[in-house]
Amino acid sequence: MSDAPPVRPGSWAFQPASLGPLRLRNRVLRSGCFEGMCPGGAPSEPLLRHHREVAEGGVAMTTVAYCSVSADGRSYGTEMWMRPEIVPDLRRLTDAVHAEGCAASLQIGHCGRFSDPRVIGGRALAPSPVFCLFRLSWPREMASADLERVASDFARTTTLAREAGFDAVEVHAGHGYLLSQFLSPHTNRRRDALGGDIEARCRWPAEVVARVREAAGPAMAVLVKANVEDGFRGGLTPAEAVGAATRFQAAGADAVVTSGGFTSRTPFYMLRGKVPVRQMVRNEPDPLRRMGLACFGRLIVREYPFDRTFFLRDGGPVARALDIPAVLVGGVCDRDDLDRAREAGFGFVQMGRALIRDPGLPARMARGDADGSDCDHCNRCVAAMDGGGVRCVTFEEESRGTPAAR
């Protein structure tokens, strides 16, 4: 009999691995979770401290989210938008992350039809002029000049991210953001070459990824976050998601992050777990939206039961169809989940709420001091994004010795 100790579950995830041109210390990444720490659309000291703490905690790469490629791609005034003036502060952030032995990725995107007209000072852009209930507004259909300008903005943002020291960019093509709106038949009603079947609907998003790939250069990784399904009838299907992912690979992506849900329709489909309506009402800055949440929040924001690795089933076919790594996000909680991801064909995993709860979890799991997260998926960290920045509210209450108010 061998005297070798048994292999601990999930051990593969804590070995060095390659992602495109990058050599990472393990296969655990911090997912792009909006931090709410960019007052005036610029990175802040709390944002730097947040990602430095995550980097110190042992992930291979942390994702700074969300950075709009232009001023008209924002849904909130606290969302970062890329311009040369913020590059020095972003460089300070990436330097702090690198000092902890961790890589840094910048999630880039455009909100499209759910950009807030009051924030951007005009009508929102969209694939088609379909009324947006989320904003109670009619967006403007993008013309050829709009398509070229926004694609150029993605490339320009990537160039500035490289100057700021980021090792990767994550193109947001999921969650109902602009590129996702082109992919979804619900929001893309175009009758030109960019509308119709999934091949046509993917044409412009794939062009954007190709432009980002060119701007990134040979030393920077390009990830694409894409839906495996939108979460409602008439949206993107899992079968179509495979076709989109292969197009992104052909356009030069180094990895595809498999996610799902539509921010403007099924926001908790991408999270699962409890809907903290009371906290959302308290932190909502807009009086009309606050009143609507207070009166109808339980009806309009659907709750989806939490399930471990909840995008694994529909993301598995995407992972098996690609020659590049697929990244599993959503409900990755412990070592057994890491092994399930590997068995399904995924090359990396992303954690979000588990790291908000405990930034040091990956290092403790790698040492064998922890098997998983004790996050209870109350989602009050989501509500906290609009109330001073993302954080584990439960941890704060435990630290004060006060009972959890849920």
Q: How far apart are the first and last CA of the chain?
A: 52
Long-range interactions of 303-306: CB distance < 8 A, separation 24+: 303/268, 303/273, 303/274, 303/275, 304/268, 304/269, 304/271, 304/272, 304/273, 305/272, 305/273, 306/272, 306/273, 306/331, 306/377
Please give the domain boundaries of the chain with CATH numbers for all domains: 11-272+307-375 (3.20.20.70)
Reported residue count of the chain is 406
CA distance 127 to 88: 34
List Cβ neighbours of 238 (8 Å cut-off, separation of 6 or more): 228, 229, 314, 317
- Give the DSSP letter string of 36-81: ---GGGS--HHHHHHHHHHHHTT-SEEEEEEEESSGGG-SSTTSEE
Whether residue 215 contacts residue 156, with contact meaning beta carbons closer than 8 Å, is answered with: yes
> Strand, coil or helix: what is 180?
helix
Q: Bridge partners of 222?
A: 169
CA distance 160 to 87: 7
- Which pLDDT score, from 0 to 100, does residue 3 have? 58
Torsions phi, psi of 399, nearest 5?
-65, -35
- Which pLDDT score, from 0 to 100, does residue 392 have? 87
3-state SS of 296-355 is HHHHHCCCECCCCCCCHHHHHHHHHHCCCCEEEECCCCEHHHHHHHHHCCCCEEEECHHH
- Which pLDDT score, from 0 to 100, does residue 351 have? 97
- Which pLDDT score, from 0 to 100, does residue 12 have? 95
- Which pLDDT score, from 0 to 100, does residue 135 have? 84
CA distances from 378 to 171, 267, 268, 306, 393 (A): 28, 15, 12, 10, 9
Residue 108 amino acid letter: I
Q: Cβ–Cβ contacts within 10 Å for residue 296, how many? A: 11
List Cβ neighbours of 109 (8 Å cut-off, separation of 6 or more): 66, 67, 68, 69, 73, 171, 172, 173, 177, 178, 179
- Cα-atom radius of gyration of the chain, to the nearest Å? 20
- Which pLDDT score, from 0 to 100, does residue 385 have? 76
Torsions phi, psi of 178, nearest 5?
-55, -50
Residue written as token pair 């996610």: 259
Whether residue 229 contacts residue 260, with contact meaning beta carbons closer than 8 Å, is answered with: yes
Residues of the chain under the 70 pLDDT cut: 1-7, 277, 279-281, 283-300, 386-387, 402-406
CA distance 29 to 58: 9
CA distance 255 to 305: 28
How distant is the alpha carbon of residue 112 from its chain centre? 16
- Which pLDDT score, from 0 to 100, does residue 320 have? 97
Would you please indicate which residues are annotated as catalytic (active-site) residues?
A: 177
